[in-house]
A and B are shown apart, each in its own frame.
Chain A
């Protein structure tokens, strides 16, 4: 038995080769599902497992599947491999090193919703990953594990890769669908949600790569097994992408409920040069700034516990900052990113990020007054709650909490 549920390549060499993967029971579960289970039975197991989406929003996966409109066909499955959140690099490792488990998860999930076509939407920079996955898909087709009449049943499934053109917003599921349809990558109005109106207007499920990679193990070991791996609030395991001022950055697969302290000091080897830790961003650039005091460090990382810190766990890309890092510099960086990535569809995000960027530049350059900091906070507040999608709402998290929780970093900068 592997130590890892998701990063099994760390225990089993060459698991990215089909024969090795199959020798380790690969596609046994898919076979079992297709030949002996009803789609609704698969969905039920995923529901009882408590699996929640790993892309950031944490929506219950099985529940999402159960929303599929069964009066409208065909159904599509889309794997979200856009992985664009700064500080997140888990899906890439999974796809590159344990690709078959992800593809098997995608295949099982497609079966569960009755999709005969599944797409993997990868960010444009992942073209090598897409090429690699294409080869793996071909191997599966050659082995009759994908294609028509899989395992002699009447179930057929094709998997295709699709490259984006370089937009953060295309990780948002409706913008992703627009992009796949050949349109501008901009979010749609919701409702309707993809399970009733998705790709090409057909019922569609969009799930993150990591989410799907959990699925074979969940079906194999049962929902309760998975529940027991995590906390009461958040079931299962998670790949935490750790980065910033730590000695050993990287991906760490740990159960939900692991504390920040365990991740940063035990797994991550502590802070570089043993400097004091100052702040944590738990969800990449979309994070609120967490003051890294003892209370925070001892907080278990699950969705509900992190919320008690007035922050979100999101995709669990943990960016660690020590006392050498100025928070005004950090928010200048995040706003620079969001200004660049705002799709321009809605006013507050498009104009607000441009405005905030002007202000953070000025503040960081030391050309601003305390009024400008106040204005920046006010502009961010005015964006809040008025945007079409989550991008605009995320863009202000670091700004608001940075100013509120690290006021000294700004006081020393302004005239």
Chain B
């Protein structure tokens, strides 16, 4: 036991450091791509709308593990040789962007169409309409679904354990191998780590929601 605890602590720090890297980069890229996709889907340009819709339909409907296999097994055959951590980040971002797009679009749809019509009628461009009028109002409505997407992303990072990345879940496999009798202790410690991350995300979401709330 005195050997186990320091080892557990050390491996949890190592493992969750990687999990947080996966989560941070994927959340960033997915948010940028997702926002662009949402803008395409609500834009007045038909080819952009079609592209946005196709992206969402393809990547939201493909199991994440299949995307992982395509990236990790396929991209290297095309000459893309990067670290497995970046394969995981690319895959997670590609997949999560579709969900971010839909969460944002749902928020945009909560803003009455009259608002957009009014801003267009006073001569605002599409960019201004979206940026100054619609998105600030939509932001309020998207916080709960966006928090869910980021929480799902946190848990999805665990799939990387089967694709060459030793993150928290990979460390759990190693702990089970090295300390077989302490299976439950290892399991609950790693689970607690994920719960802590999820608590932070939902906490931030709750604060934002309260800040942005207005009486209507």
A and B bind: no
Q: Which residues of A contact B (CB under 8 A)?
A: none
Q: Which residues of B contact A (CB under 8 A)?
A: none
